[in-house]
Amino acid sequence: MTYPDSILSRVTRPARYTGGEWNSITKDWQKTDIKVALSYPDVYEIGMSNIALPILYEMLNRQPDVLAERVFAPWPDLAAVIKEADIPLLSLESGRPLGEFDIIGFSLGYELTYTNVLEMLHLARIPVLAGERDDSHPVIIAGGSCALNPEPMADFIDLFVIGEAEELLPQLIDCFRHWKRQGATRKELLGRVASLPGIYVPGLYQAEYEPDGLFRSLTPTAEASAKIERQIVAKLPPPVTSPVIPYIEVIHDRGAIEISRGCTRGCRFCNAGMIYRPLRQRPQQEVITAVDDLVSNCGYDEVSLVSLSTSDYCGIDLLVASIARRYSKKNLTVSLPSLRLNRDSVKLVESLPTRRKTGLTFAPEAASQRLQRVINKNTTEEELMETAAAAFERGWTNLKLYFMLGLPTETGDDVASIIQLVDKVQALGRTAPGKRPHIRVSLSSFVPKAHTPFQWVGQDDELELNNKHQILRQGLRRKGVRLSWQDPRASLLEAALSRGDRRLGRVIHRAWQMGASFDGWSERFNYETWLRAFEESGIEPGFYAQRQRSTEEPLPWGHIDTGISPDYLKREYQLALEGKETADCHYQECSACGLQKRRPECHQKQAASG
Ligand code: SF4
């Protein structure tokens, strides 16, 4: 039982809040000791498309004395109505107030959802500041890719899970079990879990700054470690083949099987490519069995084979051919996100059992060969033209190309190259008999991310980014080309938050107090509110986003040890400045990223196959 009809009738998409979906799990509240609310700080449709949530949901609910329920950020219409009616935020399964759970676990995958975390806590009547919570409140934990720079959210979160939670979570739950049985205090619990590998309790650290404002250090108390090691599972957990089936259309309305984790391409701007290493692949037979189970358990007619770079899965053509054979008489669509730019990818898409010729998407990110080398994307113009030619020859007319503006060392010529490249692709499409190509160009702005070789790079300012956008908006104004872009100001905020330290907690708090929420949604994003929040907090956003940092400067996320060594990141940054590429260590020699120390088998395997 969730919100009453009198509430739901006043909001858009009430099915976001009703729960009761097929495969959802509602355990006996009274008979289950440990209660966890898995919280996603964005709307239901986005949260239900997240690949990690079903893994944690199933893993936790498998334990007899644990129940896990879901909660998503309520859209502002519901938030306003429940505030007015004095109803707290409720979970989907049992409709219990969030404050009655033992643990609330947030998944942080995007910096512009941070204010939603505060809003959800507030709606749940839980103090948003960790320091104001006492033994009567749930323990607030957070994980996900953004937890690898946890500092901007340090004021609000009791403990962070750093890295992959599959093996760590049972240990954490064990600590909770003992804690509950012994009736110990919250302080004792946090002290105890701080000794678990991969657990970061920010309240046990003291941040210090230089007189000129630079970050100096983070000093742990006796209970806490100076370094927090990112947790890495050796083997991918079994795929979830009976996920909760939403009643309403969600972003990815299909089954999903994670076929591999990690990526070794080494794109220098890419946070995911660094923080999910090493590469681990699910065996083909396990994928095929999972597809069968997913189709028979859930009735899906579309299954996505998920990976950071699907075409790099060893034997992807064989895997797709096997699935195509099994489903030759059934109507199953297989989607392959994140395809590499090459002719083989087009052939691969052609071989899918059922395909919708809606369009092909590729991400060259940069158009000029020089900039391609800088970012280590390693795709040539010939490859792009060959790929486009293969697509047009086979009857595809819609091509979507992603580019990033403001990449390190970018010049006016690099920006102009995007126009020239799109021109060439369009001209090529026109040569295909009877076809009119439609090219969709999607622009985003470069955001320097922690733990990447570009973590030291200052981002372009608003004026520079706007000028570059303007050049492309004018240069690509033509029939057959559609341009879309992300608001550069949202990227400016993202950069400040992603390279931030603890002091940014004040800004997030103030922005939320002034009404910021759903900042990742263009219709909700209010840059002026954020600028006011920065100003009132006495913090300059450019100090975090645009400032070029020295490679010797202590970094606020330096205590998070991802396994990728700072020396490797520095080396890669230097190579970028020299316009030199680094080969993919999956195919060529190990580039000693640092993981060879923690996972020697990774280095040895690559050395053997190289
Ligand atoms: S240890 Fe070597 S092989 Fe493994 S991911 Fe790092 S660079 Fe690649």
Residues of the chain with CATH 3.40.50.2300: 5-221
CA distance 403 to 481: 14
Supply the pLDDT for residue 434.
63
What does the DSSP 8-state code read for residue 10?
Answer: T
The residue whose CA has the least distance to atom 8 of ligand 1 is 585
Which residue type, as a one-letter code, is found at position 236?
A: L
Supply the pLDDT for residue 32.
97
Supply the pLDDT for residue 552.
96
Mean of pLDDT over the chain:
93
5-221: CATH number: 3.40.50.2300
Residue of 603, 604, 605, 609 best suited for mutating to test ligand 1, as the one with most atoms within 8 Å of CB:
603
Supply the pLDDT for residue 605.
63
118-137 mean pLDDT: 98
In this structure, are residues 130 and 140 in contact, taking their beta carbons and an 8 Å threshold? yes
Residue of 312, 604, 606 best suited for mutating to test ligand 1, as the one with most atoms within 8 Å of CB:
606
The residue whose CA has the least distance to atom 5 of ligand 1 is 278
Transcribe 190-243 into DSSP letters: HHHHTTSTTEE-GGGEEEEE-TTS-EEEEEE-TTS-S-EEPB--SSPPPPPSS-
CA distance 237 to 230: 17
For ligand 1, the distance from its centroid to the CA atom of residue 377, given in whole angstroms, is 17
277 Cα nearest atom in ligand 1: 5
How distant, in Å, are the alpha carbons of 130, 143, 407 from that of 124? Answer: 14, 20, 41
Residues of the chain with CATH 3.30.750.200: 360-480
360-480: CATH number: 3.30.750.200
Query: Per-residue pLDDT for 79 more than 80?
Result: yes
For ligand 1, the distance from its centroid to the CA atom of residue 603, given in whole angstroms, is 5
pTM (2 d.p.):
0.95
CA distance 129 to 105: 15
Condensed to tens digits (0 to 9), the pLDDT of residues 223-265 reads 899 999 999 999 999 999 999 999 999 998 889 999 999 999 9
Q: Residue 170: which residues within 8 A CB-CB, separation 6 or more?
A: 59, 63
- E strands present in 6-144: 34-40, 66-72, 103-107, 139-143
Supply the pLDDT for residue 345.
79
- Nearest to 33, CA basis, from 60, 66, 69, 68: 66
For ligand 1, the distance from its centroid to the CA atom of residue 273, given in whole angstroms, is 12
607 Cα nearest atom in ligand 1: 3
For residues 243, 249, 250, 254, the Cα torsion angle rounded to the nearest 10 degrees is 50
* 546-562 CB burial, b ≥16 within 10 A, e <16: bbebeeeebbbbbbbbb
For ligand 1, the distance from its centroid to the CA atom of residue 160, given in whole angstroms, is 26
Residues with CB under 6 A from ligand 1: 264, 277-278, 585, 590-593, 595-596, 602-603, 606
The residue whose CA has the least distance to atom 6 of ligand 1 is 593
CA distance 176 to 130: 18
Supply the pLDDT for residue 559.
98
Total residues found in the chain within this entry:
610
For ligand 1, the distance from its centroid to the CA atom of residue 600, given in whole angstroms, is 9
